[in-house]
Every structure is written in structure tokens, then in C-alpha cells.
């Protein structure tokens, strides 16, 4: 009889322990917001109505200086979700999938899936049409609802549709259903929820428009590009002009500008209400005590600043975006930090917060030291980039932002030569009204920021040593990675014979090395051939 009771007790203990062990892993609610600049109450905006995101901020930490890798949807999201910069993902546009360049990369949700989490994506996580099936435990879910009955008929509209008849309301409803299912199953989850507002068109229910007096919504910083900036750094507001109720030509009139800003604010408040539904459900289901929450906007947005609308630049308004991290039991809940952060930092941060092994080969750094101490920092600069055409030639603008300055070097994508330089004093000229790169007294600033920028891009995805014994061979591997990146002037992830031979001190020996390294005899060196054969 005692034996029977012991067996029954063991079975009962196992039954109770299995869900408890599963839930010892913290869940992750990963909230992505499209085109959201830091226009929130928790970022100091006294006009915007964002009570739910502000509520999240009180339980987490607000990163006041967080920056995207490239101010447009797919490059930014690809970098964040892979932990790699655009020059590693090779995603600089809206038509390239990161797995073309990185077929075997493990994405952020995929990594959690490998660690025993159920990973699911709802709404806009990756850019539309470029989802990534390996990232998810189940197929990605997209709402069937439409905000406009006629595509691109309006850039802004106060609609009579109910919230759940619009994409973000439908996403929130599905997220609520998934959270309730997770509560029942007890399985740890990584739930990615993507909201499209405040992306154009600015369509939201009328009640959110009624929250605002348009006269109290602040205007743009300026109507023109900065003094001394190259003309090619801006754009013609083409995305905005694609909508039917936007008059042709630039600048956008004051009357239309007021409507657009009103619509943008209303869209933020509508999206904020959806975030509130998720927070309420977490609490109601008892999941809030064991769920890490991160909310981020994929990049900033220009509301007429420099005469520009939408993103697509390296300016502060386009690259600066909100980032809020909340974790159970965090010691500095409700605090803000001025520490610089990049979106490639989110991947390693979530891994560390969840107690998972730190992934290697990423370009980001964990922000946990800052969550533990808001005065700490993990990087000297935050980097962004954006491609352009200058005098008919493709150039890439590489931008480095420290606590005071923003340097942007425009480099020829074939030769690597710098064709233009911008420098803005963000402390004394936060509207970026004057490019001060030509001032002699700023030469040292430019030199230092250039070193920081070049060092970061020379070490893209360099593996991280996991033991002390790994340091010596790791340095050699890192040096080869840096050398390959410098020689790969057209950034196609392979070296031609001419690229390899450039700058070689002994051309004859270099010629023999090229033949040796070219193991598949295709006349080019892949990254692996160059690094492994050259050790």
C-alpha cells in the first residue's frame, strides 16, 4: 500500500512539475511598431496621448537614444531580427531577403524556438512579402482586414470602421487569443506582434482624431535641408505623393501638413490602445509576472522636418526610434537611460534576459548592463546607414551618432572613396540646421567618429570567444574578417583578383596565395575561402 501511495505521489509531482518547469523560462512579448518616432508621453511629448505605452514604460526602461540600422522597413527589421548590420544581411532595399546572403543565419525568434519556446508572429514583423518560415513554430499570421476600400485613396482619414475591422485591431484580437492559449498550455512563448500604425496611410477611428486640437500639435523642425548639406541626402517625398489626396509638388502646404500631423498623432493613439489590450490580457491571465516585453519602432519618421515626410534618410528624425524593455523583477523599472543603443542590440539582450546561452556572430551587444544600471553604456556610437545616388554613382551614407555629434560619411560603393561629409552638433543644433563638417575645429571629432565607424564595419559578425583559451586564435580570425571587409570594396561578399591584389606589398607572392586560396577555382575568393585558407 505504501508503495502504491509513493507511486501516486510521484505521478502527481511529475504532473505538477512539468508545467512549472516549462514556465521557469520567461516568456517574451515582442511588439513591433511601424514608422514610430519617439513621439510618446514617456519620451517627453506632452501633447501625444499614449497612456498604455507610458504604462509599459513605468514597468520597464526607456532608451532615450536608440537607433535603427537603416531608416526603412525591410533593412531595419532584417537587421534587428538577425542581429546583423545591413552590410552583412545585404538588405538595403525592399526587394531582397536576408537569407540570400545569410542562408543559414538563426534569427531572433528562431533562436528562441531552438531553445524550447513556441515562436509565433502576428501582423507586420518582417517586411510584407518577405516573411521567414524558419523563424516560427507555426505559420505567420496576417490580418485579412483593410483600412481603405480603395488602395492609396487617402494619406489620412478619420474612419467610421470599428477597431477590429482595421488591421491593428484584428492583430490585437488575435494576440489576445494566442495569449489565452499560452496560459492554458503553459508552454513558454515568444510572441511577436506587429502593428502597422502609424505607417501611412494615417487611418484610425474618429475618436482618436477627436483627442487632439491640431493647433497644438508641433510642426516640423525646418522646411529645407541643412545649410551645407549635399542635395542628394534628401528625397522628393515620393511615398507621400503616392496617395490620392496629396497635391503634387513640394513643399507640402501648411494646411495639408496640419492634417498629416493630426493623422499621425491619431494613428499613434489608436495603436497605443491596441498595446493596452495586450498588457491588460497579460495581467488578466497572470502572465505579466513572467513575461519580458520589448516595444520598438522600426525607425523614426520625418513630419515635415527639413521639408521631408516619412523616413529614407540618415537624419536624426529618421534614425532615432523608441525602445522600451520591461523584464520581471528588473531593478530599475520606470527609469530612463541616455545610453546609446542600436536595434542589433535587441537580439543579444533578449537572449541574456531569458537566461539563454549568448548567441555568437552577432553585430549587437547586450543591453542588460544598462538595464541593471541606467548610467552604464555598452557602446560609444550608434551606427546607421542609407544608400543614395550622387552624380549618377551609387553611394552609401554611413552615420555614426555619439552623445553629442552625428557624422555621416557618403562613400562611393565601388571605390570606397568618401564623396561627401556631414557633421551635426546634436547638443547645440538639435534641428540639424547647419552641416559643420568643414569647420577646422571639428577635424578631430570627424577623425574619432570615423575610426569608430570603420572599426565596427570591419568586424561585422565577428565570432565571440566563449573561453579564455579562445582569445588567441579568435584575434587571428577577427583580423582576417576585418581584412576581407576592407578589401571587399563593392560589398558583394567575394573578392575579385583585382580586389585581392590591391595594396599587396609583394605582388608575386600574393598571386600565388590567390591561387592557393581559390579552392573551387572560380576566379574569386569567397569570405570562407579568404578567412580559412589564410589562417
CA distance 305 to 236: 13
Active site residue 118: no
Strands 61-67, 156-159: parallel, antiparallel or unpaired by DSSP? unpaired
Active site residue 299: no
From the list 42, 68, 73, 140, the catalytic residue is 73
Nearest to 378 by CA among 353, 344, 424: 344
CA distance 34 to 199: 6
Separation in Å, CA 486 to CA 386, 420, 433, 495: 19, 19, 33, 10
Nearest to 266 by CA among 34, 47, 42, 46: 47
324 neighbors 57 (Cβ within 8 angstroms): yes
From the list 68, 97, 118, 127, the catalytic residue is 127
Separation in Å, CA 296 to CA 63, 77, 80, 209, 305: 10, 11, 10, 23, 22
Separation in Å, CA 170 to CA 31, 132, 173, 329, 340: 15, 21, 5, 31, 34
DSSP state of 134: G
Chain Cα centroid distance, residue 424: 23
Burial class (CB in 10 A: 0-12, 13-18, 19+), 523: exposed
C-alpha grid cell for residue 106?
Answer: 538563426
Burial class (CB in 10 A: 0-12, 13-18, 19+), 3: exposed
The backbone torsions φ and ψ at residue 418, rounded to the nearest 5 degrees and listed phi first, read -80, 120
CA angle 88, 92, 93 (to 5 degrees): 145
CA distance 457 to 470: 22
End-to-end CA distance of the chain: 69
C-alpha grid cell for residue 439?
Answer: 569647420
Report the catalytic residues.
Answer: 73, 127
Amino acid at each position: 500500500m505504501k508503495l502504491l501511495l509513493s507511486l501516486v505521489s510521484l505521478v502527481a509531482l511529475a504532473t505538477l512539475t512539468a508545467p512549472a518547469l516549462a514556465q521557469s523560462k520567461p516568456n517574451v512579448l515582442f511588439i513591433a511598431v511601424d514608422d514610430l518616432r519617439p513621439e510618446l508621453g514617456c519620451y517627453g511629448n506632452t501633447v501625444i496621448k499614449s497612456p498604455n505605452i507610458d504604462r509599459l514604460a513605468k514597468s520597464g526602461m526607456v532608451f532615450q537614444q536608440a537607433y535603427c540600422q537603416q531608416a526603412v522597413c525591410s533593412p531595419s527589421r532584417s537587421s534587428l531580427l538577425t542581429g546583423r548590420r545591413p552590410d552583412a544581411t545585404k538588405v538595403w532595399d525592399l526587394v531582397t531577403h536576408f537569407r540570400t546572403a545569410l542562408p543559414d543565419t538563426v534569427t531572433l525568434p528562431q533562436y528562441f524556438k531552438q531553445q524550447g519556446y513556441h515562436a509565433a508572429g502576428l501582423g507586420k514583423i518582417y517586411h510584407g512579402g518577405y516573411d521567414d518560415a524558419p523563424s516560427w513554430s507555426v505559420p505567420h499570421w496576417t490580418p485579412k482586414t483593410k483600412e481603405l476600400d480603395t488602395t492609396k485613396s487617402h494619406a489620412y482619414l478619420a474612419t467610421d470602421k470599428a477597431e477590429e475591422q482595421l488591421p491593428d485591431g484584428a492583430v490585437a484580437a488575435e494576440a489576445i487569443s494566442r495569449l489565452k492559449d499560452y496560459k492554458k498550455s503553459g508552454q513558454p512563448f515568444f510572441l511577436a506582434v506587429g502593428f502597422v500604425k502609424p505607417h501611412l496611410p494615417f487611418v484610425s477611428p474618429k475618436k482618436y482624431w477627436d483627442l487632439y486640437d491640431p493647433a497644438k500639435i508641433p510642426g516640423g523642425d525646418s522646411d529645407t535641408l541643412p545649410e551645407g548639406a549635399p542635395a542628394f541626402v534628401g528625397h522628393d517625398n515620393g511615398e507621400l505623393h503616392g496617395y490620392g489626396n496629396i497635391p503634387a509638388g513640394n513643399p507640402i502646404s501648411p494646411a495639408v501638413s496640419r492634417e498629416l500631423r493630426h493623422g499621425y498623432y491619431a494613428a499613434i493613439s489608436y495603436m497605443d490602445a491596441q498595446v493596452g489590450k495586450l498588457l491588460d490580457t497579460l495581467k488578466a491571465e497572470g502572465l505579466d509576472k513572467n513575461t519580458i516585453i520589448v516595444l520598438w519602432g522600426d525607425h523614426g519618421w520625418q513630419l515635415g522636418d527639413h521639408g521631408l515626410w516619412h523616413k529614407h534618410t540618415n537624419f536624426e528624425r529618421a534614425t532615432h526610434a523608441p525602445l522600451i524593455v520591461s523584464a520581471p523583477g528588473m531593478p530599475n523599472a520606470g527609469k530612463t537611460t541616455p545610453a546609446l543603443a542600436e536595434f542589433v542590440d535587441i537580439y543579444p539582450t533578449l537572449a541574456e534576459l531569458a537566461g539563454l546561452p549568448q548567441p555568437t556572430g552577432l553585430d549587437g551587444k547586450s543591453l542588460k548592463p544598462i538595464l541593471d544600471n541606467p548610467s552604464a553604456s555598452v557602446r560609444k556610437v550608434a551606427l546607421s546607414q542609407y544608400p543614395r545616388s550622387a552624380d549618377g554613382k551609387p553611394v552609401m551614407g554611413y552615420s555614426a551618432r555619439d552623445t553629442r555629434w552625428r557624422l555621416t560619411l557618403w562613400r562611393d560603393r565601388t571605390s570606397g572613396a568618401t564623396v561627401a561629409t556631414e557633421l551635426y552638433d546634436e547638443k547645440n543644433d538639435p534641428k540639424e540646421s547647419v552641416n559643420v563638417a568643414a569647420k577646422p575645429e571639428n577635424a578631430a571629432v570627424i577623425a574619432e567618429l570615423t575610426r569608430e565607424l570603420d572599426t565596427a564595419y570591419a568586424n561585422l559578425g565577428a565570432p565571440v570567444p566563449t573561453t579564455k583559451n579562445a582569445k588567441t586564435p579568435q584575434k587571428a580570425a577577427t583580423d582576417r574578417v576585418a581584412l576581407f571587409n576592407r578589401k571587399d570594396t563593392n560589398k558583394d561578399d567575394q573578392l575579385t583578383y583585382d580586389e585581392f591584389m590591391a595594396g599587396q606589398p609583394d605582388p608575386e607572392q600574393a598571386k600565388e596565395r590567390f591561387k592557393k586560396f581559390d579552392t573551387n577555382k572560380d576566379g574569386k575568393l569567397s569570405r570562407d575561402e579568404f578567412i580559412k585558407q589564410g589562417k
